[in-house]
Amino acid sequence: MQRLRLKLLLLHLLSSLAIVDGTSGNFMLPVPTGATALNSTKGFEMLLQATTNKTAYMFNSQHLTTQANTTFCSIATAATILNALSFEVPIEAADASYAPYAYWTQRSYLSMPCVNSQCGGGPHGCTLAQAASSISCVKGLSTFLVYGNETNLAGFREGVKNALGTPGVQVAVNFLRSAVGQAGGGHFSVLGAFEPIADMMLIMDVARYKYPPTWVHTKDLFASVSSFDKSANNYRGFYYAYPNGLVPEFSKLFL
């Protein structure tokens, strides 16, 4: 009964925002056919149905960072992950704008020499390898990188589903927007949840001025992370980020 009351209250709040069309302003692009915006009645119901597969969302939604420019998607994704996992900002990288609070920003992340030398926000952004390697510069954090051609749809679904339900784990995807029906090319964002009934995953888009968090079909997302990135001369893919010492069960799927 308490769960039902909570659901009704949240749905009422959502409907009161008058954003059931899946956008929050005329400046945003429409969500592609077949996808579902989180800021819609259906999208929110799907989040409730995700049950145990939305632990990642519970932590990254409150820290979702809007990329500072059109090439900073991997940087904003990293900042989101680091705040979601409550990693400490090194004193030398602390952003004075938030003093005395040690909060990760894109500026503080890029101020780390190890990060800047690998993923300094060039004209074409970062490759998957650079993004995973640069966030590993943060003391105490490990990454597990998977190229799209190293797994299959079933492995992708199972691994990501388990990760999204594991405390202390975040998942970043390097995907081709056009493969999920969106406008644009290669992009990075963090994932929030997996909904098993519709078999869809929630992309927490760091280009928040462009698309809202959006549910996309798992098969479409896998096709997008399995695409070939000509600028990197390698496949796109995804990486898991988690504290050192945490060896989640899902990693065995790729070892």
How much is the pLDDT for 20?
Answer: 42
- The β-bridge partners of 187 are 175
Domain contains 30:
no
Assign residue 101 the CATH number of its domain.
Answer: 3.90.70.30
Domain contains 9:
no
Domain contains 2:
no
Domain contains 167:
yes
Statement: residue 9 has pLDDT above 50: no
Rg of the chain, C-alpha, whole Å:
17
DSSP string, 176-209: EGGGGT-SSSEEEEEEEEEETTTTEEEEE-S-TT
Residue 201: which region, alpha, beta or left (left: phi > 0; alpha: psi -120 to 50)?
A: beta
pTM metric for this prediction: 0.88
Domain contains 16:
no
Give per-residue pLDDT as tens, 200-247.
999 999 999 999 999 999 999 999 999 999 999 999 999 999 998 876
Domain contains 29:
no
Domain count, the chain: 1
Residue span of the structural domain in which 135 resides: 51-254
Domain contains 92:
yes
Domain contains 134:
yes
| pLDDT-based confidence at residue 125 (cuts at 50, 70, 90) | confident
**In sequence order, what are the residues at sequence separation of 6 or more whose Cβ sits closer than 8 angstroms to the Cβ of residue 201?**
160, 164, 191, 193, 194, 195, 215, 216, 218, 221
Q: How far apart are CA 139 and CA 247, in angstroms?
A: 17
DSSP string, 6-46: HHHHHHHHHHHTT-TTS-SSTTSPPPPTT-EESSSHHHHHH
